A and B are shown apart, each in its own frame.
Chain A
Amino acid sequence: MILRKSILRHIKEKKFQYFGVIVLLLISIMLFVSMSMAISTLDTRNQQFKESYHQEDFHFIVSESIHQDQLSTWEQNFEIDLEKRSYTDVDYKSEDTTLRVFSLTEDINKPYISEGDLPNKQGEIAVSPPFAKAHDISVGDTVEVNNQNLRVTGFMYLPDYIYILERVSDLVNDPKSFGLAITGEDTLTNLSSRSVSQVIGQGNSEEEVASFKDHVVDNYSLLRWMNADENPRIEFVESEIESSEAVITTLPLFILVLSVMMVLMILKRQLEMQRKEIGTLMALGYRKKELMRHYLSHAGVIGIIGSILGLLAGAGLSIPITNLYSEYYNLPSISYFDWDMMVLVIGFIVPNVVLLIMTYFVIRKPLKQSPLDLLSPKDVSKGKKSMLERLPFFKKGSFISRFRLRLLVRKKTRAVYIFIGVMFSTILLIFGFVTYNSMDDIVETTYKKIFTYDYGVYYNKLQQGDLEEGASPFTNAEIQVQQLNDKEDISIDQKVSIYGFEPGTDQIQLLNDEEHLLNDKAESGFVVSQPLASVLGLELGDELTIGNAYNDKTITKEVKGVANVYIGFSVYFQLNEVNSFLGYPEGVYTAKWTNVEPTESEQILYVENKKDAIENFESTSQLTRYSVMGIAGFAFLIGVIVLTLITNLIVEENSPSISLLKVMGYKDNEISKMVLNVFTPIVLFSYVVSVPIAYYSIDGMMTSLVEQTGFSLPVNLSWFMIVLGFVIIMVTYFVSLWISKRKLKNVSLQEALKKQQD
């Protein structure tokens, strides 16, 4: 159809408007496709790594040493595969940097070599790529580990350390201070006498594994048992893949809705402007469906250009995102790029179908009119006042303010769009600020105010006796939440721990929201961490029943407090009762909090260095800062596009009045104030309303993510953030006004005259 030619020319004529909506659509599809493809590739890499390199199903550590013969017997009796592996934590160059060196395994948790070779001679090691990158290590280099020189034969990935964490309680890792390595058994023995021996295993069914675990619990002193689905080093990437679906779809969906709204607004305006053209075509004999097709093509062109560019940009962007994720999770690049057809199809079809359906309803309205109605000029507004205009303050004020108020009241739809645009940008901004701030809050509250110790020392055997001055003993064990008040059916995907401690200690200060010390409350009841309270919906006074993970003992206590410990699902209770609950003798402990760096080498399972944990957090806050800047940038861009599109349309719609005002002698600035600045109260109102909405929705979102992530981010909004957000939103608004002012300046003086002639 020849009319098709007019589409591209029309788009060229209104290039800013069409460009704006195409960019919005592009951003929406690009975000969806890049995130979906990155996650899909990540999933493939994870699955392939897991299967091909035989990721463990569980591992455990017992006090006793286990011989190879014992393993073979167990393998036969329980139909499981077992392998022994040793590891030791050693200093790399300085005391601040730890390298966890594992012995090589043959069947389970097989290392993937990404560069170089496996170490097969004494004095050789292979290291994890993030550690190598952080310390500028190349294959073939000789490195000093624990005062010994070792040759680096290659870079390797371990299937049970996909998300590298020094301790399972950590959230993030700084490769500068912690890394992994593998080496032969002999080299490992030479490196340190403090190695820990663990058994790693794979089972065919959960039942077999469970019955094997029962056997171990009954016959050995089990220090740690961890199934793969409780292991954050394995689970983090899986829960990230699962939880990312909400992020992948929510944000792009919002932007899609915004862009569809903008397209509809522009097309509606276009149809109004082209009433006569439609009437002429109808009078000439064009059928309604031909005209419907023609006008749908406008939306179609926007949709196709936006979605194709979005798909290409998204596919391109997915590669660095995948690499970033893979680096973050330490996944080898087994597959590079997954062409997930479903993502491409959804990314293309959904936006186009939504756009076309919505546009259909907008076009249907004028096409329902007769050609005669369309050929006649649109009824001049009858000048009827709206309800709002009857309010007393309308009659007061200068002519300019009354003119502005009237325009505002009569352009309600535009006002609603501006309201939604500002709200969207505000929510994005506040989200960025809160996330940024909450990382600092975790460090400040959990690590500085509550955990006052410097080191958490975990032993591989039960300890007894006095500790050095200032040190405080505690017993730590895995538990199961069995009952809350009368509710028995409780399941938490994450591992729940109990800390039996001496409430009088200075090493841990359990503080609540009001900063009241809760240590004493742990004498007679449970004090729980924020994530556990959040997942279970715990309130003070609730009766909580917990079970021992290794036997059938249970204990029921009242919840006496919720401490601002934001990491981990933890229950704090007094030491003696915890020992009795776990079946340990009185006066023993499995760990200690201390301010003195542990020097003893025997019997230590691992040392939790708080300084490292804080450093890890602080190093990741840099990444968060970039994310916040990215989110703020997006919020700014989307805000500018939406607000400029609307103010541009307002100039276009009011061009006869603008021209007339110019003829009468009004200056551009005065006209701009009368026509453009009318929406300033809407922008302010939207911001004021959006801040609490953003706050509560982020709070809700954080709570819903607690179970997957194992930590709750404190959602605190400071006045500084509110003011900064306001400044950004106002800058966005004034940038869009500035762009539209240029259009206003270009409205010619003849415009008024021309319209009169029409």
Chain B
Amino acid sequence: MSIVLSNVNKIYQSGEVNVHALKEASIEIPNKKIVAILGPSGSGKSTLLNVIGGIDRHDSGSVQVDDHQLDKMKDKDLTEYRRHSLGFIFQQYNLIPTLTVEENVEVGRQLSQNPLDMKEILEKVGMWDKKDKFPHQLSGGEQQRVAIARALIKNPRVLLCDEPTGALDEETGKNILKLLQFVNETYGTTVCIITHNNGIGEMAHKVIRMKSGEITEHFYNEAPVDPEKVNWV
């Protein structure tokens, strides 16, 4: 799945001040690769992810996903796009507290026409043993694994991860990164990670740096490292 952004602009109105969240952003997300979008808070990386994910609309420019242009899609079409093509992972996991691990993953599975096997996914994320636990009985890292399983079971072509390790310690964070790398290698899923942790860029195939809504740098990483060796910042 190819995602190409051309001259994308997004302005937020905050009181009487206009905040330029994206300024002429043009970038390509390569298919089946890991892409790290790096930048400090307020740099526009979350806006970029939201625009790619079809949960926010840009003001000008174009976002091309295969043959479709997101800015021309209606809300209903964007829902179908998210339903069939994307998986979302959030910093705060956003699991449904009244559902067990397996049931939370089932929430994702039901959306897919071609879902992966429940047991396989839960085993892959190391949560099969805890499939009957509720979110409040799990650690932060475990909850994020469940969130990944929920996104992954849909068998999406793109996995959009918003600060997936933001609430985790180094060891747990690296385990999650390993899992994302494994997903990319095993299922060929494009993984798009936004993070303020510059070290994560070392494991990505492509690195995009942002500042004040602008893409300041983007390059291919010739030798991505194992997540274990990432310099945790």
Contacts and interface: CB of A to CB of B under 8 A. Distances in A.
A2 B111 CA distance: 11
Interface in A274-298: 276-277, 279-288
Interface string B77-119: 0011111101110101010101100010011101100000000
A490 B92 CA distance: 77
Given A2-B99, A372-B50, A375-B90, A284 B56 contact: no
B98 A286 contact: no
B98 A285 contact: no
A365 interface: no
Given A2-B110, A284-B107, A370-B55, A277 B83 contact: no
B50 A2 contact: no
Interface in A1-26: 1-3, 5-6, 9-10, 13
B56 A285 contact: no
A277 B94 contact: yes
A371 interface: yes
A1 B110 contact: yes
B82 A284 contact: yes
A486 to B, nearest CB: 68
B201 interface: no
Nearest to B110: A2
Contacts of A372: 50, 55-56
Nearest to A2: B106
A5 B97 CA distance: 11
Interface string A32-70: 000000000000000000000000000000000000000
B84 A285 contact: yes
Given A371-B55, A372-B55, A375-B90, A284 B98 contact: no
B53 interface: yes
A284 B93 CA distance: 12
Contacts of A285: 79-84, 86, 111, 154
Contacts of A758: 92
Contacts of B55: 282-283, 370-372, 375
B80 A280 contact: no
B116 to A, nearest CB: 15
Nearest to B150: A284
Contacts of B96: 3, 6, 277, 280
B111 A6 contact: no
B82 A281 contact: no
Given A5-B103, A285-B84, A372-B56, A280 B79 contact: no
A9 B98 contact: yes
Nearest to A10: B98
A13 B98 contact: yes
A286 B88 contact: no
Q: Which of B98, B99, B111 has the most CB of A within 10 A?
A: B98
Contacts of B56: 370, 372
Interface string B137-153: 00000000000001100
B107 A281 contact: yes
Interface residues of A, number: 25
Contacts of B151: 284
Interface residues of B, number: 29
Contact of B88 (A2, A13, A277, A283): A283
Nearest to B108: A284
Interface string A359-374: 0000000000011100
B82 A283 contact: yes
A13 B134 CA distance: 13
Contacts of B87: 284
Contact of A280 (B50, B86, B90): B90
A284 B92 CA distance: 15
Q: Which of A280, A283, A370 has the most CB of B within 10 A?
A: A283
Contact of A284 (B80, B103, B111): B111
A257 B2 CA distance: 54
Contacts of A9: 98-99
B99 to A, nearest CB: 5
Nearest to A371: B55
B107 A288 contact: no
A104 B86 CA distance: 89
Given A9-B98, A372-B50, A280 B110 contact: no
Contacts of A283: 53, 55, 82, 88
B99 A286 contact: no
Interface in A624-662: none
Contacts of B53: 283
Contact of A276 (B50, B94, B150): B94
B94 A286 contact: no
Contact of B107 (A2, A279, A282): A2
Contacts of B86: 285
B79 A282 contact: yes
A112 B180 CA distance: 86
A415 to B, nearest CB: 31
B14 to A, nearest CB: 11
A3 B79 contact: no
Contacts of A280: 88, 90, 94, 96
Interface string A114-140: 000000000000000000000000000
A537 to B, nearest CB: 61
B90 A287 contact: no
A9 B103 CA distance: 12
A636 B154 CA distance: 53
Contacts of B111: 284-286
Contacts of A10: 98
Interface in A190-211: none
Contacts of A5: 98-99, 103
Nearest to A285: B83
A383 to B, nearest CB: 15
Given A284-B88, A286-B111, A371-B55, A2 B98 contact: no
A5 B106 CA distance: 11
Nearest to B88: A283
A371 B87 CA distance: 14
A2 B102 CA distance: 10
B112 to A, nearest CB: 9
A287 B87 CA distance: 15
Contacts of A287: 76, 79, 83
B50 to A, nearest CB: 6
A485 B16 CA distance: 74
Contacts of B81: 285
A156 B90 CA distance: 80
A103 B12 CA distance: 96
B212 to A, nearest CB: 20
Q: Which of A2, A282, A285 has the most CB of B within 10 A?
A: A285
A303 B38 CA distance: 50
A367 to B, nearest CB: 11
Contacts of B108: 284
A13 B87 CA distance: 30
Nearest to A288: B79
A9 B150 CA distance: 20
A281 B90 CA distance: 12
A15 to B, nearest CB: 13
Contacts of B92: 276, 758
A5 B87 CA distance: 22
Interface in B5-52: 50
Interface in B53-87: 53, 55-56, 76, 79-84, 86-87
Interface of B: 50, 53, 55-56, 76, 79-84, 86-88, 90, 92, 94, 96, 98-99, 103, 106-108, 110-111, 150-151, 154
Q: Which 8 A-B pairs have the closest CB atoms?
A: A285-B83, A9-B98, A280-B94, A6-B98, A285-B82, A2-B106, A371-B55, A283-B88
12 contacts: A5-B99, A5-B103, A6-B99, A6-B103, A280-B94, A280-B96, A283-B88, A286-B79, A287-B79, A371-B55, A375-B90, A375-B94
Given A9-B98, A283-B82, 18 more contacts: A2-B99, A6-B96, A6-B98, A6-B103, A10-B98, A279-B94, A280-B88, A280-B96, A282-B55, A284-B107, A284-B150, A285-B81, A287-B76, A287-B79, A288-B79, A370-B56, A375-B55, A375-B94
